[in-house]
Structure 1
């Protein structure tokens, strides 16, 4: 299946890999059977590789709904997106919809997907963040001309989803990996271990992802390794992570952090790529 350069992320996501995709693909095996990605997020690696067969997962149900709508109802989604206004009052009205669960649950999958894209394109710094109640809480971005309706990209992604054999799931990462067999390849991009007490990458889902979750993920990597399944994992280059994966091959790369509420905190930081193969 030919690579389509128009197939790129449709949302900006915390920890997205577009900035370092060239560094990541250098370490991905040339051939594998099924591609697994249990922390899909913005999907930069999936869209770069465009594998023929993939099982992709995210614990964020709204994000998985978005991808399913792009696959099955892209034209209806585009039509709905065209109705949105880049207006602060309108933004907060739409943002508040998830405060009323009874009303929110009556929105169609297309309306929910359209809302997610709109908020992502018009909120401050493109930061998808929810509070502990699972409510979107990023403020309005005040952008002059945000690209709310990226029609070419949406249609290209929809075309790829329909040509390939893509399975979308919304589960715990362990559950999402249960079907993996030798010959498959797994790319893991979990919420990162915070580089400081004030840093956090866990606001994309109300559940959070603390060090006990990082340990649970490492145990999942050990099981993949025991099965002879190749994996590649991204994370921050903290002492905790480097020690946790000390039995595996670790490469340090430079990544540019582009999402931070403070401009002086953006810039190049060390990240790790962990793998169980040469």
Structure 2
């Protein structure tokens, strides 16, 4: 990797973003990380990916609307910027745009318009989070921010240049399909939906249907397969006891993170999270 461009940064706020944990994550990365092909199957906001800025990478997410945003920024940035500039920071307009995924009109939107909608809603909704209900409909309320940065041209242009100047493959699908592309020259960073510490902290609204213990166990089995093949992985998750049990044969580091998505305000603040790896 050459010297990183600080403007290459997340363009969306995403649940469980890793920017605040970056020092802890960087400390645990393999010493030869620069020589490895980077794979991130749950890209989300991409904080770790954009921090590392690898030359060779595969990024993926199950959320097709999110992946569409990455593809449009890479391939159709001028059209995206034009479309973003049409949006208004007004409640009536916000709810009109938010409601599109409940209508037939949504299917008529172009990929550029869909990407523009996701960025607009993310920048203007309450708490700046992507959240959908079980029907896959965006349901975060209007945020009432005075001057949201809907069109962050410097960051979008820097991300566009980075994605096009390097060998970056963008995928949309199940994480196991992506993991089949990993080999001994790969490093895999996994940031799945976290297992809840308690019922009030259960937030998996950025993926339709959410995740449960069966999904967490399936992911652990996939990590075991990576380990058998000698592929290095680092995984983030909550400090729930079941996560410690699932990964008890691996190295588990406890770190502190500030999270503000708990429905109980008294439970917001610094909490323990796990960083789990299969290498020294």
TM range (shorter): over 0.9
Cα drift, residue 207 of structure 1: 2.8
- Paired with 2:226 and 2:236, the residues of 1 have a C-alpha distance of 16
Does residue 147 (structure 1) correspond to residue 149 (structure 2)? The answer is yes
Answer yes or no: is the 8 Å Cα contact 1:15–1:201 preserved in 2.
no
Normalization by structure 1: what TM-score?
0.97
Does residue 69 (structure 1) correspond to residue 110 (structure 2)? The answer is no
- Paired with 1:208 and 1:177, the residues of 2 have a C-alpha distance of 21
- Paired with 2:215 and 2:60, the residues of 1 have a C-alpha distance of 17
Matched with 2:267 is 265
**Which string of whole-angstrom CA distances, capped at 9 and with x for unpartnered residues, describes residues 25-70 of structure 1?**
1111132421000000000000000000001110000000000000
**Which string of whole-angstrom CA distances, capped at 9 and with x for unpartnered residues, describes residues 220-254 of structure 1?**
00000000000000000111101110000000001
Cα drift, residue 160 of structure 1: 0.5
Residues 88/261 of structure 1: CA separation in 2 closer, same or farther (3 Å cut)? farther
Matched with 2:206 is 204
Cα drift, residue 106 of structure 1: 1.2
Cα drift, residue 127 of structure 1: 1.7
- Paired with 1:207 and 1:271, the residues of 2 have a C-alpha distance of 23
Answer yes or no: is the 8 Å Cα contact 2:201–2:262 preserved in 1.
no
Q: Runs of at least 4 residues of structure 1 off by over 2 A?
A: 30-33, 258-266
Matched with 2:246 is 244
Does residue 94 (structure 1) correspond to residue 109 (structure 2)? The answer is no
Number of aligned residue pairs? 277
Cα drift, residue 260 of structure 1: 4.2
- Paired with 1:124 and 1:263, the residues of 2 have a C-alpha distance of 15
- Paired with 2:214 and 2:221, the residues of 1 have a C-alpha distance of 11
Question: Considering only aligned residues, what root-mean-square deviation do their CA atoms show, in Å?
Answer: 1.1
